[in-house]
Amino acid sequence: MCISKRIKFLISFITIMVLLLGILTSFTVFDVYASSKTWMYVADDHLRKERTEVTAEFPPPPLLRDISISEMCVSDDGWIYFATASHLCKIKTDGSELTELLEKSDMSEIRVPGDGWIYFVTTSDLCKIKTDGSELTELKKDISISEMCVPGDGWIYFATKDDLCKIKTDGSELTELRKNISISEMCVPGDGWIYFATQNFLWKIKTDGSDFTELAQSKIVKMCVPGDGWIYFAITNDLWKIKTDGSELTELLEKSDASKKIGIPGNITVMHVPGDGWIYFSVITHILKIKTDGSKLSSIYEIIYPEDRPIVELKFDIDFRSSTKSLDI
């Protein structure tokens, strides 16, 4: 081989290696993927399906590209239900069979508890529709709902601007549980209690409205109650947990620790505890995880953008009780 051909070959080889290195260094290998079921679904400018363990394999392509999701829910029926600015849609978790269910604007609080219905709110109404897109039903008109849970016990629990209420899933028996209370986060895990946060406090109340109890004084921005006897919550950029009876308040992660170990400063914007022993959370465009005992902090995934645009939501097909967020068609 002549010198010029060798030089051209060497340049081509180096170019290819540089391109591959640029692709491969967009994520960091921490572990080998071992479970075929453990996936997380990420909504940013795309709808993505990502492994909860970083592997040496290339990540799968987005399920949907260039789509703005406002609310989403991953159900145990193998579908992702989501709202965009103007439509309610569903798509299979393998990315097939994208289906438009309803043309409607300003939908939020998408909940799919497994009873064959999708529950959602608009700016002024509480509604439900069959998962096949039939039987659109208004359950309550002229109501503004900020937080909603549908745990599968036949009731919808929701917060308005000033009150905590519940209503039967057929629209009957509207019941006021607590007046003059402004709720920012709420969870109903199915243990007979409603856990919620106000501006500076963490509370619980029984689903019948009795035993209103203060658990802690904290300004909580995100909260999860997976049913393991603990409440996990974020205070701006710190992670904590507390027993559901209000005991054993424990700090799991302090911001400076995260910055030191992972090198990612910023506030926690999304958090989820699917019940696999890990807490998953996002900081700007990074997805991280930490054991529920506060050990093994690691970075799973980073979305590379020309500018920092935060992750909207992430959900998991290993937790079928939870709801997911986000789309736009």
pTM over 0.85: no
The pLDDT of residue 62 is above 60: yes
> Mean per-residue pLDDT for 112-134?
96
H helices of 179-296, in order, are 255-262
More confident residue, 181 or 52: 181
The pLDDT of residue 2 is above 70: no
Lowest-confidence segment of 8-17, 121-130, 248-257, 267-276 by average pLDDT: 8-17
Residue with tokens 């109404």: 125
> Minimal CA–CA distance to 299: which of 317, 316, 285, 311?
285
Q: Encoding tokens for residue 284?
A: 């700007």
CB 324 within 8 A of CB 73: yes
More confident residue, 247 or 55: 247
Confidence of residue 63 (pLDDT cuts 50, 70, 90): confident
- Render pLDDT for 251-288 as a digit per residue (tens, 0 to 9): 998 865 655 555 555 678 788 888 889 998 887 767 88
Burial of 18 (0-12, 13-18, 19+ CB in 10 A): exposed
Integer angstrom CA distances of residue 191 from 8, 106, 162, 177: 68, 31, 24, 17
The CA distance from 229 to 284, in Å, is 29
**Buried/exposed code over 275-304 (b: 16+ C-beta within 10 A; e: otherwise):** bbebbbbbbbbbbbbbebebeebbbbbebe
DSSP letter assigned to residue 235? E
CB 167 within 8 A of CB 155: yes
- Name the strands in the sheet holding 99-103, side by side, starting at the edge strand that comes first in the sequence: 71-74, 79-83, 87-92, 99-103
> Mean per-residue pLDDT for 43-54?
77
- Render pLDDT for 221-240 as a digit per residue (tens, 0 to 9): 899 999 999 999 998 778 99
Q: DSSP of 145-198, one letter per residue? A: -SEEE--SSSEEEEE-SS-EEEEETTS---EEEESS---SEEE--SSSEEEEE-
Lowest-confidence segment of 2-6, 128-132, 195-199, 285-289 by average pLDDT: 2-6
The whole-number pLDDT of residue 75 equals 86
- Render pLDDT for 157-213 as a digit per residue (tens, 0 to 9): 999 999 999 999 999 999 999 999 999 999 999 999 999 999 899 999 999 999 999
The CA distance from 205 to 192, in Å, is 9
More confident residue, 39 or 53: 39
